[in-house]
Amino acid sequence: MKTLQIPYAEQLNNATIADAALVLEESGRKLVIESVNWPTQFPYKPITHCVVARSSQSLFLRFYVWGNMLKAVYYTDQSPVHEDSCVEFFCKLPGADEYRNFEFNCIGTCSASVRKGRKEDVRPFSTEEMKTIKRLPSIVPKAFNELSGHFEWDLTVEIPFDLMGLDAQYLPEFIEGNFYKCADDTEFPHFLSWNPIETEKPDFHRPEFFGKIVF
């Protein structure tokens, strides 16, 4: 199990998402999403890393991706963005039987829910809850079909602790989670993770392979 320490950055309190992107560059901690868990079936490995930090109320993530294609068909929240050029963050409290998934395509469209498994007891967040997830994509947030070539993009997001199932006034010592990069329905499908996954087929919905995220 990998361990990640989330630094506290006071500058993130009441920061705009644009300001947060700059603060993350100065004060965040970098992790690399590089585990190719199914190399025979899906060997493609776009360069992907994420910079993380927290305020007193939220977790901030800035993903960076360098890859050979780009796709963003979905522009409405709670769409299957994992089929596009996508980055993801899943998390849970230790011992909990539910976890939360936050999935974003490269233009910031988000799919997020509370669930017990891929298809088990899935409770999508409401429209109002989704509005509290702030996003700043480097790409103009307009849908487009898959493009070929070499592309660099980044995405900054703010996820309130309450959507993560946490009380901001009493954060636990640590939670469990994983970070992912995927693009299921593209010319170069891939399924990368921060903490390795040991399953026969691609499956991100496996909390037993989450790493340790320390506050």
Domain residue ranges of the chain, discontinuous segments joined by +: 3-214
Sheet holding 29-32, edge to edge: 29-32, 47-54, 58-72, 144-160, 134-137
Residue 42 and residue 162: Cα distance in Å, rounded?
Answer: 35
Across 200-209, average pLDDT = 97
Residues 53-102: tens digit of each pLDDT: 999 999 999 999 999 999 999 999 999 999 999 999 999 999 999 999 99
Q: Is the domain covering 3-214 a CATH 2.60.40.1190 domain?
A: yes
CA 97 to CA 5: how far, in whole Å? Answer: 23
Check if the beta carbon of residue 181 is closer than 8 Å to that of residue 22: no
What pLDDT is recorded for position 112? 98
- Split at pLDDT 50, 70, 90, the class of 40 is very high
- Encoded tokens for 71: 């796709």
